Amino acid sequence: KIRETAVHHEDETGWRKNGRSHWLWAFISKEAALFKISRSRGHKVPKKILGKKYRGTIVNDRFSAYNKLEEETLCTLQKCWFHILRESKKLAKVHNEGKYIHRKLKSIFAEAKEYEKKQQFEKVPELIAKIEKIASRKYRHSEARKFINSLAVRHKYNLFRFVGNKH
């Protein structure tokens, strides 16, 4: 059933089994939930579940295994805004630059949600431009630079797939 979904969420978390470290992988859609315990946290776990020809969209955090999965399958990624805003909120607690980033990202996400309601996919380039504008600023703290560059360079095309998506 997960292989047939147009959109599903994936995440992994640590799991102890007989005193040894494993990973609990979760694959969640509106219709189904699948859990897999594995010694590996690598991209091969979801690739084996989904197959090489999976064409759906996977909502996920910015963990690198999903980037590799995208390269080796036909899937697309949607970065999870809950994870993004949670991370930017943590930045806001330790750096003034983080406060700016968090405030801007919250605003952009709210705007994207409005476009989603109206299925205005043509607005996505404007949203990406706003992400790029945040990234164009000079940040003193490497943590802030690393976070925003990850969004604006590596993941910018995977931030707004939900806008205009009927799923």
CA angle 136, 142, 147 (to 5 degrees): 65
pLDDT along the chain (167 residues), means of 10: 96 96 98 97 97 96 95 96 98 96 98 96 97 97 96 95 78
Q: What is the pLDDT of residue 164?
A: 73
- Give the whole-angstrom CA distance, residue 114 versus residue 124: 12
φ/ψ (deg, to 5) at 89: -65, -40
Which of 64, 62, 57 shows the shortest CA–CA distance to 148?
Answer: 62
Q: What is the pLDDT of residue 167?
A: 56
Q: What is the dihedral of CA 70, 124, 121, 84, to 10 degrees?
A: 60
- Give the whole-angstrom CA distance, residue 72 versus residue 52: 7
* 96 to 75, 89, 124, 129: CA distances (angstroms): 37, 11, 28, 23
How many other C-beta atoms are found inside a 10 Å radius of the C-beta of residue 143? 15
